[in-house]
Amino acid sequence: MSVPNHIAIIMDGNGRWAKKRGLPRVMGHNAGMKSLKEIVRACSDLGVKYLTVYAFSTENWKRPEDEVSGIFKIMVKYIAKELAELNRENVRIRVFGQWEAIPEEARESMELALAQTEANTGLQFNIALNYGGRKEILDAVKKLYAETEASGAKIDDLREEDLQRHLSTGQTPDPDLIIRTGGELRLSNFLLWQCAYSEFVFRDIFWPDFDKKELEGCIEEFNQRHRRYGGLLL
- The residues annotated as belonging to the active site are 12, 60
CB-based contacts of 196, cutoff 8 Å, min separation 6? 174
Question: What stretches of the chain show up as alpha helix (H) in DSSP?
Answer: 14-20, 25-46, 65-88, 104-117, 133-151, 160-164, 212-223
Closest CA to 95 of 109, 74, 110: 110
Q: What is the number of helices (H) and of strands (E) in the chain?
A: 7, 6
What is the separation of C-alpha 175 from the centre of its chain, rounded to a whole number of angstroms?
A: 10
State the DSSP string of 86-97.
Answer: HHHTT-EEEEES
Q: CA-CA distance, 210 to 43, in Å (whole number)? A: 13
Cα–Cα distances (Å) from 203 to 8, 13, 158, 160, 221, in that order, read 14, 11, 39, 32, 11
Q: CA-CA distance, 209 to 215, in Å (whole number)? A: 11
